[in-house]
Amino acid sequence: MSKQFFTGKRIELTPIDIEKDVEIWEGWNHDSDYLRLLDDFPANQHSAPLLKEYIEKEDSPNALFMIRTLKEQKLIGFIELAGYDWVARNAWVGVGIGDPDFRSQGYGTEAMNLLLKFAFRGQNLRRVNLGVFSFNNRAIRCYEKSGFKYEGVEREAIYKDDQRWDVHLMGVLQSEWEAMQALD
């Protein structure tokens, strides 16, 4: 794929470097704030060897990218397209900014926009979906900036912090995203 899909103003999306990146990723898995926002599984502090084994065994058609700063090539997070439905031309996206120094600064939005360019122009998808915890306002703002629209809710779908929370379902269509690009 052309670098045009993967290089932004401050970051780029790169393949994972199994030998170097899993050590950093393992460190993120010891950050309770990161884990709390990432998924609904119990906090699972995977070791580097377990992460490496998971990535090497991954036989699904997922597109996993690491998010790196352009200048320093510092690994700050990951983004992934998963759950492809090639007939309907849909997929699901997940993103995590693991380095706390880079959260709430627009890096997630920039990564999402690069991934959507790849999804819609490189993979010819028609729609990208996601689920986000109702308490994760930073992520919701990021997704809205990238064109995602609220489409529904899974009421009380997760249990965190001794209470039940909704999961907001959001999606963006290729036509909506392309219209946003024309305005830029």
Q: How many CB atoms lie within 10 A of CB 38?
A: 21
Backbone angles phi, psi at 181, to 5 degrees: -65, -35
Residue range 124-170, pLDDT digits in tens: 999 999 999 999 999 999 999 999 999 999 999 989 888 999 999 99
Burial of 15 (0-12, 13-18, 19+ CB in 10 A): exposed
Helices 107-117, 137-145: axis angle to 10 degrees equals: 40
3-class state of residue 28 by DSSP: helix
Give the pLDDT confidence score for residue 20 in this predicted structure. Answer: 87
Residues 6+ apart with CB under 8 A from 49: none
- The amino acid present at 42, given as its one-letter code, is P
Round to the nearest angstrom and report the end-to-end CA distance of the chain: 23
Residue range 29-51, pLDDT digits in tens: 777 776 666 665 555 555 656 66
Helices 18-28, 48-57: axis angle to 10 degrees equals: 120
Residue range 74-90, pLDDT digits in tens: 999 999 999 999 999 99
- Taking Cα atoms as reference points, which of 159, 178, 148 lies closest to residue 39? 159
CA 38 to chain centroid: 9
pTM recorded for the entire structure: 0.87
Structural domains of the chain in order of their starting residue, each with its CATH number: 3-183 (3.40.630.30)
